[in-house]
Amino acid sequence: MHFAYPPRKDSNAAAFKPRASSSRLPFIRRGRKRVLAFGALFFFGIIYFLTRPSSRHSGANPWMAAHLKAAKEEGTGSTMPGVGDHKAPTAADGNPFGADFSAATENLASFGKAPTVVLVTVYDETNFHRAYLDTIRENRRQYAKKHGYGTFSPKVGYYDLNGSPLSWTKVVAMRHALTLFPESTYFWFLDQNAFVMNMDKSIEGDIMAPAKIDEAMLKDFPVVPPDSIIKTFGHLKGQDVDFLLTQDYDGLSTSSFIVRNGEWARFFFETWFDPLYRSYNFQKAETHALEHIVQWHPTLLSKMALVPQRTINAYSKVDHGAKYETGDLSVRVVSCIRTSSAVCENEAAPFIQLWRGGDKQQQAAS
């Protein structure tokens, strides 16, 4: 007995019919709703943080906000003759210090030109004799005059550090110098206890030229000796360096360092001076804070170059670092660290004589 074939199915199947829903929107599971809600919250949070005023330029660092505002309102904010004088904001302008910083600046470049380099030194007139400090000022001025540089010489106590150690003044002074000399390229901080010894060397030609940095830079080198796991970048080029400094036997040294002017430099100093890092109460204050931020923030480390200590920061004694040798750019008098002015001056005397003797020989030769 034969059975009939079953009815043949249509090759074109009917389209899938979705589950009936009372809403025109696609059905969203409860879990997905939660994910979308968190995503929307995150998105609007990002928008808020990008558009809100930065606390770093408001309540956190009021002096920075005051100077940045003044610089924008006055144009260049430069102290150069013929370009436009800049006077630091007074207390009435929102500056809580009320000091006229223009008295601490000097431009030794050709008339109407911005100095390529600004030499910054903070002076402690409370603990050191006036005659000794005048000798240091003379040293700075002679070097700046020879190369057409600018100088910025604020005093300890000029800035309100909100209870932080006075050694933080160098960070504030360097950031302030960027505002006072906006058209300058390099800023060299040199500690009060150091002397420029080789007046012939220039910062832009002998130290910060990309080829010179490439030649001297320590690559893949521990940031904090002897065995920090964070090391300097091995692929960094001299042309990309914005921050140059040295190490001594204890770690990074902030007694002599150079920065290149720009957005990164402003960001760097404001990050360094952030109240968060000052609140940590590091044993060596700003020096340990610097070691912390460059090891934890690649944005900072990626622009930093370590060079041999004698490049810009030789010491008078071998106890704490590389000892000064004839021809080095500068020497730091070790006894001036946390000692009386008399002890400091005694150790500095031979270097003062050597510097002045070399300067006289150069003048006679010319």
pLDDT by residue (tens digit) across 180-203?
999 999 999 999 999 999 999 999
Q: Averaged over 322-351, what is the pLDDT?
A: 89
Longest dimension (CA), the chain: 133
- Tell me the C-alpha distance between 34 and 170, whole Å: 50
How far is residue 196 from each of residues 17, 137, 232, 263, 365, measured CA to CA in Å? Answer: 86, 11, 27, 28, 20
- Tell me the C-alpha distance between 315 and 330, whole Å: 8
The torsion defined by the Cα of 118, 121, 122 and 125, in degrees rounded to 10, comes to -130
What's the fold here for domain 57-310? Spore Coat Polysaccharide Biosynthesis Protein SpsA; Chain A (3.90.550)
Is residue 314 a contact partner of residue 322, using CB atoms and an 8 Å limit?
yes
Q: Where along the chain do its domains lie?
A: 57-310
- Tell me the C-alpha distance between 243 and 208, whole Å: 10
Q: Phi then psi for 147, rounded to 5 degrees?
A: -110, 0
Per-residue pLDDT, 244: 97
Structure tokens at 148: 């057409």
Q: Averaged over 345-366, what is the pLDDT?
A: 77
Structure tokens at 93: 């302008």
pLDDT by residue (tens digit) across 245-266?
999 988 999 999 999 999 999 9
pLDDT by residue (tens digit) across 127-168?
888 999 999 999 999 999 999 999 999 999 888 888 888 889
- Tell me the C-alpha distance between 194 and 139, whole Å: 10
Predicted TM-score (pTM) of this structure: 0.73
Side chain identity at residue 201, one-letter code: K
Mean residue pLDDT across the chain: 79
Within 10 angstroms of residue 71's Cβ, the number of other Cβ atoms is 18
